[in-house]
Amino acid sequence: MTMLRNLGHWWLGIMARMGRSLIFLVQILFGMHELLLRHPREVVMQLYSVGVLSLLIILVSGLNVGMVLGLQMYNTLVDFGAEAALGPVVALSLVRELGPVVAGLLFAGRAGSALTAEIGLMKATEQLAGMEMMAVDPIRRVVAPRLLAGIISMPLLAAIFSAVGIWGAYFVGVGLLGVDEGAFWSQMQAQIDWRDDVLNGVIKSIVFGVVVTWIAVYEGFDSVPTTEGVSRATTRTVVAASLSVLALDFLLTAMMFNK
Amino acid sequence: MSEIDASRAALPSLVSIRDLKFGYGGRKIFDGVDVEIKRGQVTTIMGPSGTGKTTLLRLIGGQIKPQSGEVVVDGRHVPKLSRQGLYDLRRRIGLLFQTGALFTGLSVYDNVAFPLREHTRLPEKLIRNIVLMKLEAVGLRGARDLMPAELSGGMARRVALARTIVLDPMMIMYDEPFTGQDPITVGVIMKLIRQLNDTLGLTSIVISHDVQEASSISDYLYVLSGGKVVGEGAPDAMKTNESPWVRQFMQGAPDGPVPFHYPADPIDDDLFGMVTA
Ligand SMILES: Nc1ncnc2c1ncn2[C@@H]1O[C@H](COP(=O)(O)OP(=O)(O)O)[C@@H](O)[C@H]1O
Ligand SMILES: [Mg+2]
């Protein structure tokens, strides 16, 4: 009986949180046009700290994933004498799945946690309350540019991840293992469909960008304004954002590639 | 009513708080508080930690709403203001937070320029002149390029003060400006509060624990405790006030109406209860 009550309580708590975060998102979106008119510089600065600073980890991981993928696929394909298909196989995996998903997970860990911690600390040190007392809306001035920067950055980072990954596979497959270079590229071009594969991958990465950044800014803004509260909020961001990426990936894949 | 009371009543109020009741959740913080802040004066609000002094400033700034009672600032009922009305009012009120609340990502210069850039469309050259003038007023024109992390606590508060006066407010509220500062900084801040108030024609509310400092710069004092105003008066009158609350506070006695002990079971029960039981 108590367990049932606790379960209900927990469920209501989650629902209330989701409701609040939805209202929060609507509030942010309402101020967006004003932000772009009055503070374009702020958006550019956030693009730097959210996007550019995530670049290194995306490059290194993309290269590594691509190289491993090239090696694994080659070993499998060569048994069937189909190593010429290495190009399209690697490219499909990256563009459809690994690019958006792995970039999304890395983005949650690198940029999402940083966003939550930054906003949470601004709250804990009364910077947000101070802004309000100066008649400046922190949602428009602090949260909105960060959300926008996240939404713009994520698809670009996913694209870079895929591109670097393909290059890594090329390096291993063609450079080290002797797959024919012409076949690698021409098969890739022939097999990959612009709309079915590339566009769907881009849509995924946009969705992940919105969700991860939204969770990150909401958790920061909603955090308990103490040292402990901010650290808990940061953890919650990484966990919730990563799980959301995986769950949404399944949903989107089922919707997009369901023939 | 004495002569002083009568002459005080004749002065116009900038802030009137009447029968204010407020609590966080179920916990009562204010239970019928009346406070009058007179125009042009420095008024200090004193009281033990946790009585709700910061909460009072947040109520005046409209960040929270009272459960009942009136909060009137410059003729406007703060709890009834629309969001726009509230923002218009806040542009004319400065609140100096206990911590200073400087934006850690911005330099001293950009911190002070922030309200101007948000609320005006002045050319950068004019903004520069205003910012440097305000920094000069707090003695920190030379620190314009430092980041907040590079400032001492006292300097951070002075920068925050420069930022607060950059839009030429009608009133400044200081939340514990002296707490945790060395004696020299306390002196500097005291001088600044009085000087700014008189030269810029402001009204000031100061929250403080420091009886001596508060008495020497204020025109009027309030003592809050247990959700009520337990004493008020001009500093001299307060020193001779008969109320045990006020006496305890003015003399800094550890025990009195504000008990030294947090409520607990009798100590005998607590220490020996296990043995006798
Ligand atoms: N946001 C809040 N939610 C719940 N309780 C609060 C909140 N802010 C302050 N309090 C409580 O209200 C009381 C008064 O707080 P405060 O106004 O900060 O006191 P003071 O500034 O006089 O030390 C304190 O006991 C504090 O714990
Ligand atoms: Mg306080």
Average pLDDT (B27-38) is 91
B99·A125 Cβ contact <8 A: yes
Q: Supply φ then ψ for residue A216, to 5 degrees.
A: -65, -50
Which among B95, B99, B119 has the least Cβ separation from residue A133? B95
From ligand 2's centre to the CA of A28, what distance in Å? Answer: 30
Residues of chain A with Cβ-Cβ distance to B95 below 8 Å are 130, 133
- A132 HSE (CA, 13 A, CB side): 15
Strands B13-24 and B27-38: antiparallel
Average pLDDT (B18-30) is 89
- pTM, whole model, 2 decimals? 0.84
Judged against a pLDDT cut of 60, whether residue B69 lies above it is answered with yes
Count interface pairs A-B at CB distance under 8 A.
Answer: 45
Judged against a pLDDT cut of 80, whether residue B254 lies above it is answered with no
Please tell me the predicted confidence (pLDDT) of residue B277: 46
Q: Kindly give the number of the ligand 1 atom that is closest to the alpha carbon of B224.
A: 22
Please tell me the predicted confidence (pLDDT) of residue A29: 86
- Reported ipTM: 0.80
Least confident of B6-10, B171-175, B198-202, B232-236: B6-10
Please tell me the predicted confidence (pLDDT) of residue B184: 86
Q: Is B15 within 8 Å of B9 (Cβ atoms)?
A: no
Instruction: Please check whether residue B170 touches A, CB under 8 A.
Output: no
Ligand nearest to the CA of B48: 1
Q: Name the residue at shortest CA distance from atom 27 of ligand 1.
A: B50
Residue to mutate among A48, A128, A133, with most B CBs inside 10 A, is A133
Which among A122, A130, A136 has the least Cβ separation from residue B97? A130
Q: In the predicted model, what is the mean pLDDT of chain A?
A: 91
Q: What is the pLDDT of residues A226-237, one digit of tens each?
A: 999 999 999 999
Residue A211 one-letter amino acid:
V
Give CA separation, A242 vs A103, A108, A248, in Å: 11, 6, 10
The residue count for chain B: 277
Between CA A138 and CA A154 the distance in angstroms is 23
Give CA separation, B220 vs A147, B38, B106, B210, in Å: 47, 9, 37, 14
Between CA A229 and CA B166 the distance in angstroms is 33
Q: Name the residue at shortest CA distance from atom 6 of ligand 1.
A: B24
Which among A127, A132, A133 has the least Cβ separation from residue B103? A127
Q: Which of B24, B33, B44 to mutate to test the pocket of ligand 1 (most atoms within 8 A of CB)?
A: B24
Residues of chain B with Cβ-Cβ distance to A127 below 8 Å are 101-104
B101·A130 Cβ contact <8 A: yes
Q: What is the pLDDT of residues A137-147, one digit of tens each?
A: 899 889 999 99
3-class secondary structure, B193: helix
Q: Which of B28, B49, B51, B60 to mutate to test the pocket of ligand 1 (most atoms within 8 A of CB)?
A: B51
pLDDT interval class at A201 (50, 70, 90)? very high
A134·B101 Cβ contact <8 A: no
A130·B95 Cβ contact <8 A: yes
Q: Name the residue at shortest CA distance from atom 7 of ligand 1.
A: B24
Judged against a pLDDT cut of 60, whether residue B145 lies above it is answered with yes
Between CA B174 and CA A3 the distance in angstroms is 49
Judged against a pLDDT cut of 70, whether residue A19 lies above it is answered with yes
From ligand 1's centre to the CA of B53, what distance in Å? Answer: 8
List residues near ligand 1 (CB under 6 A).
B 24, 29, 47, 49-55
Instruction: Please check whether residue B95 touches A, CB under 8 A.
Output: yes
Judged against a pLDDT cut of 80, whether residue A37 lies above it is answered with no
A130·B63 Cβ contact <8 A: no
Tokens of B159: 């920068």
Q: In the predicted model, what is the mean pLDDT of chain B?
A: 87
Q: Kindly report the CATH number that applies to the domain delimited by B3-92+200-272.
A: 3.40.50.300
3-class secondary structure, B156: helix
What DSSP line would sit under chain A, residue for residue? -HHHHHHHHHHHHHHHHHHHHHHHHHHHHHTHHHHHHH-HHHHHHHIIIIIGGGHHHHHHHHHHHHHHHHHHHHHHHHHTT-GGGHHHHHHHIIIIIIHHHHHHHHHIIIIIHHHHHHHHHHHHTTHHHHHHHTT--HIIIIIHHHHHHHHHHHHHHHHHHHHHHHHHHHIIIIIIT---HHHHHHHHHHH--IIIIIIHHHHHHHHHHHHHHHHHHHHHHHS-SSHHHHHHHHHHHHHHHHHHHHHHHHHHHHHHS--
B114·A134 Cβ contact <8 A: yes
Instruction: Please check whether residue B147 touches A, CB under 8 A.
Output: no
